[in-house]
Amino acid sequence: MMKFSGSVERLAGVVAWGISYSIAVLVPMIFFLGSYQYLRGVMEARTELRSHEISRIIQDNPLMWRFEEIRLAELLGRGLAEDKSEAVEIVAADGVLVAQNGSATGGLWAHCNHPIYDAGRVVAQIRVSYSLRPLLVRTLLVALGSLVIAFLVFFTLRTLPLRAVNDSAKALRESEKRFRSLFESMKEGLAIHRLDPGEGGAFPSLRLMDVNPSCLALLQLDRQAVLGRDSFTLFGPGFAEHRSEFQRVEEREGFAAFELTLPGRDRLYAVQAFSPAKGQIATLFEDITDRREAENERLNLERQLLQAQKLESLGILSGGIAHDFNNLLAAMQGYLNLVQVQVDAESPAFKHLESMERVVHRATDLTSQMLAYSGKGRFVVKQHSLNRVIEDMNDLVKVTIPKKILLDLDLAPLLPPVEADAAQIQQVILNLLTNASDAIGDQEGIIRITTRSLRLGPGDLVKDFQGQNLEAGVFVALEVSDTGCGMSTEVQARIFDPFFSTKSLGRGLGLSAIQGILRGHHAGLRIDSKPGRGTTFKVYFRASALAMEEAGRGAVSARKSLEGTVLLVDDEVMITDSVSAMLEGMGLKVFIAHDGRQAVEVFQRERNRINLVLMDLTMPHLDGLEAARLIHRLEPRMPVILSSGYSEHESIQGGIGGQAVGFLQKPYSLQALYEALRGSLQPSST
C-alpha cells in the first residue's frame, strides 16, 4: 500500500512537473515561434508590396528614380511602426543606399530582402528589418505569465490530487488493515483462488492465491506449501465436484453453498463460495461438525420429548380410565364377595359366583395393563431375584412359545436382587417373549433369555440411555434375544407408540405397557435389531442395595368378626354401598362420608366413637391425603387405611401416605379388606 501510495505520489509529481514545465517553457516558445512566423509573414508581404510600388516609381522615372527621396521616404515610411522596431532601406544594384527609414542597429533584428525589378532586371533591393525586441519583450511577459500559471498548475496538480490520493490511500490502508485483521483472525477458514477458465470447453482450474491462518490450520499445511497450488487437489474430490458451480459464481456474481468433508479430516464444513473480483473465487469454510451433532441431539431430544408428552397424555387418559374401571370393579368385587359369604358353598350359584369373580379378576388384569402403561399401576415393590421370577414363569412360557422355537435360558448366578413388582416383571418378560415368538413366526428359531449384572457409568447412560432418567450404578440386565426377522430403523422408532403393531391381530399395547412398567421401575431399555438379523431387548433393573429377604408366605387367616367403628370415605356411592356392606358383614359399624371435607366433619363430630378411617384418595373438595392429615391433626393416633384406583406408589407421593397404616388397591376383595383391617381393629369378643 505504501508502495502504491509512493508510486502514485511519484506519478502525480511527474505529471505535475511535466504539465508545469510544458506551460512554463512550451507556451512562451510556441508564442515566440508563432509570433515570429507571423512577423516573417507580415514582413515578406509588406516587403513584396513595397518592392512593387518602388518598381512603379522606377517605371515612371527610370533615370532619376533613385533621387526621388521624398517619394521613396514616404513609401518606406508608410505604415511603419512608430516604436522604431522596423527599418527599411533600398540599395541600388551598384550598392549605393538609395533610401532608408529607420536603422537596424543594436539588438536582434529579423531581415527580409526582396529584389526590385525594372522590366525584369534587378535594379535594386529592398531590405526590411524588424526588431525582435518587442517580440522578445512580449515573449518575456508571456513567459512570466506562463511561469505563474505553471506554478499554480504545479501547485494544484501536485497538492490537491495528491491530497485526495493520500486520503484515499490512507482510507484504503485502514480498510486493508481492518480486513486483513479480520481475514487473519476469523475463525472460519477463508481461501481466495484464481480461476483460470478451461480451454476448449474444459473445466476451469483453481489455484490458491491467499489463505488465512484458520484455513491453513484446516489444511494442516503452511502458507508456502499451499500458495499457487491446485485448489481441487488441496481440498479433495468433494471440492472438485463443485467446479462448475465456481465457474457459474464467477460469471454471474451469485454464491454457492455446499457441505464438505476434507480428505483425512473427520470434520464437516459448510462451504460458501463467492466471487470477490473478476477471475477470483473466495471460499469460506465453517466447521459445522459440533453444530450438526448438537442439532441432531436436539432433534433427538425433541423427538423424545414429543414421545414423552404423547405417553404422558396417553398415560393420563389410560390411568383415568383404569381408575374409574377399578372403582366399578371394586364395587362388583365387594358385592360379589358379600354374595359369596351369603350363599352356601354347595349351592349351584356358588360356581357361577366364582366364574363371575374370575371375570372380575380378568377385568382387573386389563386395567392393570392400562395402569402399567401409564406407569401408575399397582406396584408391590419388593426385593426379588430376577432369575427366580423367570424360573417361576416356566410353565407359562411353555404354553406361550411354539414348539419349533427353542427357549434358551442363560441366567447368571448370584445376581444381586432387584426392587420390583414381580407381576409387572413377569408381564414384561411375557410380552417380550410373545414379540420374539411373533418375530420368528412359523420358522424354527431360538429365543434366549439372559441375565447378568453390570455397572453403568455416566458415560454409558449418556450414550445409550438418553432420556430414560437413570442413575449410574449396578444394574441387573435381562436380555431377550431372538433369531427372528428383526426391525428396520423406522419400525424401531415407532414400536413404543400405543396401538402401533406390525402384527395383523396385534393390539399394539404390549411394548407400550413394557415402557410404562419400566418407567415405573426406573429401569432402562435398549434394543439391538437389524432387519433379518433378529432382535435383542435389553432391560436394566437397578440392583437393590439391601440383601435379599426371603419373603415368607403368610397363611391366609380365617375371617373373624371385628369390633369397632369405621369411617368409610369415598365419593363413589357404589363403593360406599358395597364396602359398607362388607364392613358391616365383618361386624363393624360404619360412618360414611362422600368427600374429604365431610369426612373431617364427621370425624370431629364422632371422633370418640371412630376407631379407623378407610379413606379414598381421589375425591372432590378435599382429597384423601389432606383429609387424613386434618384427621391426624385432631387425633394423631387414628389409624387410616388409604385406598385408590391408582397404585400405592403413585398415591402416597404426597408424603402423608407414610402415616397411613395400610393401602388397598382397588378393586380389593373381602379377604384383602379383612387383612387390612385386622391389624388395627380388635376381633370381636363374641
Partner 1 sequence: MRRILLWVLAISLGTALPGLGQTIEEIRINGSGTALDLLKPLAEAYQRKHPQVRIAIEKPLGSSGAIKALLAGALDLALSSKPLTAEEAGRGARLQGYGRTPLAIVAEKSIPLSDFTTQQLEDLYAGRLTQWKPGSPVRLVLRPQSDIDTQILRSLSPGLNQAVTLAHGRPGMLMAVTDPEAMALIARTQGGVGASGLASLLVEKPPLQVLTLNGVRPTTATLASGTYPLAKEISVVTTAKTTPAAWAFIDFIYSAAGRAQAEKVGVLVTGSSAPSR
Residues that bind partner 1 (CB under 8 A): 60-61, 63-64, 67-71, 73-74, 77
Shortest reach from residue 122's CB to partner 1, in Å: 20
Name the residue nearer to partner 1 (CB basis): 69 or 391: 69
Residues facing residue 7 across a β-bridge: none
Task: Between 71 and 538, name the residue whose CB sits nearer to partner 1.
Answer: 71
Q: Closer to partner 1 at the Cβ: 91 or 142?
A: 91
Nearest approach, Cβ of residue 156 and partner 1 (Å): 45
**Residue placing its CB nearer to partner 1 in the complex, 70 or 462:** 70
74 versus 167: smaller Cβ distance to partner 1: 74
Compute the least distance from the CB of residue 77 to partner 1, in Å: 7
Choose between 74 and 251: whose C-beta lies nearer to partner 1. Answer: 74
Contact present, 624 and 597 (Cβ < 8 Å) = no
Nearer to partner 1 among residue 98 and residue 602 (C-beta): 98
| Smallest distance from partner 1 to CB 95, Å | 14
Contact 287, 303 (CB under 8 A): no
Q: Evaluate whether 80 touches 101 at the Cβ level (below 8 Å).
A: yes
CB of 145 to partner 1, least distance (A): 31
Backbone angles phi, psi at 271, to 5 degrees: -110, 130
In angstroms, rounded to a whole number, what is the distance separating the alpha carbons of residues 262 and 104? 96
Report in angstroms how near the CB of residue 74 gets to partner 1 at its nearest. 4
Shortest Cβ distance from residue 28 to partner 1 (Å)?
A: 32
* Cis peptide preceding 498, ω within 30 of 0: no
* Least Å from the CB of residue 69 to partner 1: 4
Residue (55 or 374) nearer to partner 1, CB: 55
DSSP string, 353-409: HHHHHHHHHHHHHHHHHHHHHHT-S----EEE-HHHHHHHTHHHHHHHS-TTEEEEE
What the block records as the C-alpha cell of 551 is 419373603
CB of 116 to partner 1, least distance (A): 17
Residue closer to partner 1 by CB (options 60, 167) is 60
What is each CA distance from 522 to 196, 477, 516, 653, in whole angstroms?
A: 65, 13, 10, 15
Residue whose C-alpha is closest to residue 616's, from 604, 636, 598: 598
Report the amino acid identity of residue 349: A
The one-letter amino acid at 592? I
Bridge-based pairing state of the strands 612-616 and 565-569: parallel
Query: H or E segment at 100?
Result: strand 97-101
Q: Which three cell numbers stand for residue 42?
A: 507580415
From residue 27, give the alpha-carbon distance in Å to each of 36, 136, 300. 14, 14, 86
Which helix or strand (DSSP H or E) is residue 458 part of? helix 458-464
For the bound state, the minimum distance from the C-beta of residue 139 to partner 1, rounded and expressed in Å, comes to: 28
Helix (H) or strand (E) holding 46: helix 27-60
In the complex with partner 1, the residue whose CB is nearer, 38 or 67, is 67
The C-alpha atoms of residue 216 and residue 218 are separated, in whole angstroms, by: 5
